[in-house]
Amino acid sequence: MSCPSTRRLLKESTDLHKNPSPYFTAAPISDSNLHDWHFTLAGPPSPSPYAQGLYHGRITFPATYPLRPPSFRFLTPSGRFEVNREICLSISGHHEETWQPAWGVRTALLGIRSEIFSSESQGQVGGMEGNDELRREYARLSLGWRCRECGVGNLEAMRELWEVCRERGIEVEGEVDGVNRAGVEGQREIEGPREIEGPRETVEAEANAPASSGDNAPVGKEDQAPADGAVESTPAAESVPVPSAHAPVPAAQAPAQAPLSTVQAPAAAFIPTQTSSPQLALAESPSEGVWLDRAIIGVIIALVLLILRRVANVDDL
């Protein structure tokens, strides 16, 4: 006898088959495991950047479903959710306190399409930030995306669904039908993303090529002169003696050494300070010698007086 979770999933699968929605298709991957589903969801209508996009994902149901909520993850890049990572929703396993057992796959996927895709992630688990241009590009590329696990292509699955909806009298909105027309005109299964990305990379390479080649020609010549000057400034500052700072500069070399003036100026400023220290030492040396001589003479006189006093004391004895 099947468990309540299996009976509930069988009921939902049958209901989706009898009463399909033109906005999504969902079914178990295999009949042997009803707790693992794949789905394909059409993006919300314009002006959403996800419009005309098809997004494939996976639903994992716990053994206690519907008492506990399922978990959702997207496998198709969208710019809104991280790829193949469980996302945080009020109807997912991250918020069991807000889950209602009466909800099911239909309620969850329609809620994701209408509410989640129209808001930003704001730091939620599994969400990501992106600009509208990137998300529109992902929407275009999603038409040729194919799942590696179940082997189903996004546009292929939705075309079959829309055909079934028309046969059963279910209206397919113009926005959703526009995805089909866009796929017929420009979709290339599997190789579609490569053909779309290729021209863009070529255009970017051609746009960058003139800039890089134009920069190398003039800038290289202008940069060589300062570079050479920088290399020559080091030996000039170290090897030039003090008199050379005042030596006249030849007229032919004046333009080439113009950038070096700013480098040699500090060296010339420091030269007097270096030469002034020996002069100060020479100026101070005579005064120090006189003081030492006087001290020595004083010590000698003191010794002589001390000796004479001792001699006088010996004579008295």
Catalytic residue, chosen from 88, 147, 150, 165, is 88
pLDDT of residue 117: 80
**pLDDT of 230 over the 80 cut:** no
Q: At residue 188, what are phi and psi to the nearest 5 degrees?
A: -130, 110
% residues pLDDT > 70 (the chain): 60
Tens digit of pLDDT for each residue in 17-71?
Answer: 999 999 999 999 998 899 999 999 999 988 899 998 999 999 999 999 999 999 9
How confident is residue 91, by pLDDT bands cut at 50, 70 and 90? confident
**pLDDT of 90 over the 70 cut:** yes
Degrees to nearest 5, angle at CA 99 with 95 and 100: 175
> Where does residue 4 fall: left (phi above 0), alpha (psi -120 to 50 degrees), or beta otherwise?
alpha
Query: Distances from the Cα of 134 to the Cαs of 79, 81, 140, 276, 296, in angstroms?
Result: 7, 13, 10, 70, 94
Q: At residue 111, what are phi and psi to the nearest 5 degrees?
A: -65, -40
Q: How far apart are CA 175 and CA 120, in angstroms?
A: 22
- Nearest to 34, CA basis, from 68, 72, 62: 62
pLDDT of residue 312: 84
How confident is residue 176, by pLDDT bands cut at 50, 70 and 90? low
Degrees to nearest 5, angle at CA 272 with 266 and 275: 130
**Element containing residue 27 per DSSP (H, E):** strand 24-30
How confident is residue 183, by pLDDT bands cut at 50, 70 and 90? low
Q: At residue 272, what are phi and psi to the nearest 5 degrees?
A: -60, -35
pLDDT of residue 3: 87
- Residue 88 appears among annotated catalytic residues: yes
Q: In which order are the strands placed within the sheet that holds 24-30?
A: 24-30, 33-42, 54-60, 71-74
Tens digit of pLDDT for each residue in 155-173?
Answer: 999 999 999 999 999 988 7
Q: What is the DSSP secondary structure assignment for residue 250, as one 8-state letter? A: P
How confident is residue 180, by pLDDT bands cut at 50, 70 and 90? low
**pLDDT of 125 over the 60 cut:** yes
**pLDDT of 6 over the 90 cut:** yes
Mean pLDDT, all residues of the chain: 74
Which residue blocks in the chain are alpha helix, DSSP H?
Answer: 4-18, 105-114, 132-141, 154-167, 174-186, 192-239, 261-316
Q: At residue 57, what are phi and psi to the nearest 5 degrees?
A: -155, -175
Q: How far apart are CA 26 and CA 157, in angstroms?
A: 10
- Nearest to 195, CA basis, from 142, 151, 141, 152: 141
Q: How far apart are CA 41 and CA 153, in angstroms?
A: 12
Tell me the pairing of strands 24-30 and 54-60: unpaired
Mean pLDDT computed over 5-11:
95
